[in-house]
Each structure stands twice: as C-alpha cells, then as structure tokens.
Amino acid sequence: MLTQKQPVDFLKDFLSSNKINRFIYIRPRNYVLTTKLHLAYLCTSRGWGGLEMNHLRNALWMKARGHEITIICTRSSPLEKEALNAHLSVISIRKPARHYAFFSAWMIFLKLKNLGVQNVMIRNTSDISLAASISFFSFKRIHIHFFMELMFHEKKQQLYRTIRYSFLSSWVCSLEYMRKKVLSDTRINPKTVCVIPSALDFSQIMSVSKTDTRKQLNLPENKVIFGMIGRIDRKKRIELAILALHQLQSTDYQLLIVGEETPDSPDSYLSELKQLIQEKNLENQVHFCGFHAETSPYYHAIDALIMASDFETFGMSTIEALAHNTPVIATNSGGSQELLNLFPFGILVGPGNPSSFSSAMRRILEIDADKFETKAFHGYFDHQRICEMIESRILSCESVR
C-alpha cells in the first residue's frame, strides 16, 4: 500500500533532484529560487575606474546568485586581469572601433551563440554600437541591456542613433532624473527604459574608527581631511577643491586625491594640478595617494568626500562615502543633487565656484551624523535587492519566496 508523502518530504525530494538543480539554484538568504542564466558582460575599455569596477562587481554578484558568467573585454586590459583573478570565464578581443565594428561584432556573436548566451550587459557608451551589431546579427535573439553610467548633455535623436538604440532590450538608469532625460532627448521606446539604482555590498564594509584608519594610512589625527576618490580627470574639477583649500588659509585642512589618470585618455591634467599646488604652496596639504583597489580605508579616514564635477551622472563615490557614514560636499546638479536629496548627509554647493566649496568645507564638521537614515540607505542600495530587480525586470526571471 502506497503512503502519501508529507508536503515537506515532497519539497525536499523536489529540490534535491538532479534534473531540477540544472535549472534553479537556492539562495540561502530568504530561500529565493531563480532561473539560471548564462550572462555575458561586455566592456572594451582599457581603463579601470568606477564604470569597469561596477561591471565586474555586478558580474560577480550575479555569479554568486547562481548564474553562469562570461566577461568579454579588450586583451591586456585591467578588466581582463581582474576577471581572470576572479576565476571568471573570459573572452579577450582586440580593441574594436567605436562605430561599425561589424567584424568584431560577428565574431563575438558566433562565440555567444556557441555558449548559448542570450543576455549581454554593457555599461560603456562606447560599446553601444558594437553591442547593437551583435543583436542585429542574432536577429535580436541576443538581448542587450545598457546600464547607463555617463549622462549625455545633448539630444540623441539622429536617425542612426535611433536605429542603434532600437537594438537595446533595456536601458537602465540609476536615478529618476536620468530616466526623464533619456525619454526627452532620445527616440527610444519608453517601455525599454527603467530605473534600477547602483548597488553596494554592505557586508564588505568594515566598522573601523577614524583614528585607527588614520594611523594605518599614516595620516595626521588632528587635521580636517577631505578626499576626492576616483579617476583623475578634467571633468572631476579637482582644481576647484585645491583652490578652495587655498582660500581656507589654514594648515588644519588637508586634501587626499585617491586615483589615477585614465589610460585611454592621455592628458596633461595631472601635471597642471601639481603645478597649481606648487603655485599655491600647498605641497604639504595636498597628497596624491595613487590608485587603490580597496578604497574603504580612505572613506573611513576622511572627514568628508568632495565631488566637485559640474555634473555627476550618478556618483558611485557619493554612495560609497555615505555607506561609510562620511558626509559629502557636492555640486548641486545631476546625480549628486538627487542622491543627497534622497539621503541628506552633506552639503550641496553651486557648480564651478571655489568659494562655495571652501565655505562648505568650513561647515562640514557641524553636520550631525546621527540624523543620517542609515537603515533606509542600506535597504535602498542593498546589492541583493538590486540583483533581484535586474532578474525580474530585465532578465524576466521569476523569483519565488
């Protein structure tokens, strides 16, 4: 006589079967079941800044959730090196032309077809043409998902752009103002545009005191230290922070510049900054710290982050600073404006004015850290929540709690 299995036993057998495990995985937290996919992350940049780091970071998060990941990148690029170090599958290619790289697109399409990849993630605007061509050769069977990292400042309504954008399955904006800008300045199908914030893994942020971190980095404990963390680029307007520091006329204030120039864009900007520092006699107050893959100690060590660019699309450094309970002095525009309005913990100033920055630098220690809504901030930018949004909204994966 057959006995009926209890529901718990049936579920246990169902989940342990080899057949079902080929198609689903179990995420321990909240026991979420999600369809496994093979995802490709395409980025041909030779740089190593926030854009490239975000691309790799998201790929690793999705791998941790059970998806198979392939990185497509330029040979001998920092992304190739980091992806291999992370034991990801990598397809290395020669740097393609920015536009009409049909041969490169065809070769990538063939590789993706053989791998069974149907979803390609891109972040670099320069890769849209290449990715659109891949979609074209696949008759749109390969879906291109563009995660917008840089905002454009002029209309993109030309016919060739409209055709190119038509091969994007989704256009993901980090903030609401970006979505509105894309809809007003392009002719893209509104149904493909959505808002999914950038994310952070808060479990990677250690709780360390400012005193201990400054000792570790050999920084003075009794100074007010500001930081600029990211690429050394003209658009970051680092000179404004240097001029503001000069206006303070006090050695009690110091500035750390953490980052390096972009290899793809050789420029004299770094030399100009060093000359300005010398002219203003600030050699003992401004410190170039170079590139560091692990920037968390610097966020812990500084009293405030400075975002001086006239316009910041999103501002990954802004949410990284807030995640370390470090206030931000930023230009009152773009992503900085929306982020600091959502989570007020800093000072917004007018763009391009060193006096505005110096005034904010004097007042920064008056900000009450206890008023910062840490729990709400963590919930909003939690990487698991964002990955779930990508799966459900972009990849059409059904999650069952």
Taking the model in full, what pTM does it have?
Answer: 0.83
β-pairing verdict for 253-258 and 286-290: parallel
Taking the C-alpha atoms of residue 118 and residue 73, their distance in angstroms, rounded to an integer, is 17
pLDDT exceeds 90 at position 49: no
pLDDT tens sequence across 176-203: 999 999 999 999 999 999 999 999 999 9
The 3-state DSSP class for residue 293 equals coil
Nearest to 300 by CA among 198, 206, 173: 206
User: Cα(42)–Cα(51) distance, rounded to whole angstroms?
Assistant: 12
- 3-state SS, residue 399: coil
Query: From CA 229, how far away is CA 302, in angstroms rounded?
Result: 11
Residue listed under structure tokens 């001086």: 308
- What's the mean pLDDT in 136-151? 96
Residue 281, pLDDT score: 97
Q: Can you read off the two tokens belonging to residue 17?
A: 């079967």
Tell how many helices (H) and how many strands (E) occur in the chain.
17, 15
Percent share of the chain, pLDDT over 70: 89
pLDDT single digits (tens) 270-327: 999 999 999 999 999 999 999 888 999 999 999 999 999 999 999 899 999 999 999 9
Could you tell me whether strands 143-147 and 168-173 are parallel, antiparallel, or unpaired per DSSP bridges? parallel
CA angle 174, 334, 262 (to 5 degrees): 80
Give the model's confidence band at 6: pLDDT under 50 very low, under 70 low, under 90 confident, else very high. Answer: very low
Compare 143 and 4 and report the one with higher pLDDT: 143
Residue range 7-18: mean pLDDT, rounded: 40
State mean pLDDT over 84-100: 95
Q: Is the dihedral of CA 346, 347, 351, 353 positive or negative?
A: negative
pLDDT over threshold 60, residue 24: no
Q: What's the rounded Cα separation, in Å, for the pair 169 and 160?
A: 17
Q: How far is CA 45 from CA 48, 80, 107, 151, 236, in A?
A: 8, 10, 18, 17, 19
Kindly indicate whether the domain formed by 204-380 is annotated with CATH number 2.60.40.10: no
SS3 16: helix
- What percentage of the chain exceeds 90 in pLDDT? 81
Please state which of the ranges 8-12, 211-215, 365-369 shows the lowest mean pLDDT.
8-12
Q: Which amino acid is at 236?
A: K
Phi, psi of 347 (to 5 degrees): -135, 130
pLDDT reported for residue 47: 87
pLDDT, position 98: 87
Work out the pLDDT band at 213, boundaries 50, 70, 90: very high
What are the phi and psi torsion angles at 77 (to 5°)?
-85, 160
Q: Kindly report each contact of residues 88-95 with a partner whose C-beta sits within 8 Å and lies 24 or more positions away, as own/partner.
A: 88/59, 88/60, 88/63, 93/44, 95/44, 95/46
pLDDT on residue 191:
95
- Position 218 scores a pLDDT of 95
Using pLDDT thresholds of 50, 70 and 90, give the confidence band for residue 267: confident
Q: Of 121, 99, 128, 109, which Cα lies nearest the Cα of 42? A: 121
Distance CA 56, CA 34 (A): 21
Contacts of 85 (CB under 8 A, 6+ apart): none
- Do β-strands 24-27 and 32-35 pair in parallel, antiparallel, or remain unpaired? antiparallel
Band (27; pLDDT cuts 50, 70, 90): very low
Supply the pLDDT for residue 34. 53
- pLDDT interval class at 401 (50, 70, 90): very low
Shared fold status for 23-199+382-394 and 204-380: yes
Residue 398: predicted pLDDT: 58
Domain definitions of the chain by residue range? 23-199+382-394, 204-380
Averaged pLDDT for residues 27-34: 43
Structure tokens at 255: 């500035």
Q: Which of 156-170, 256-270, 348-362 is least confident?
A: 256-270
For the cut 90, the answer to whether the pLDDT of residue 22 exceeds it is: no
Q: What CATH number does the domain located at 23-199+382-394 have? A: 3.40.50.2000
Looking at the chain, how many residues does it have? 401
Are 261 and 232 in contact by the 8 Å Cβ rule? The answer is: yes
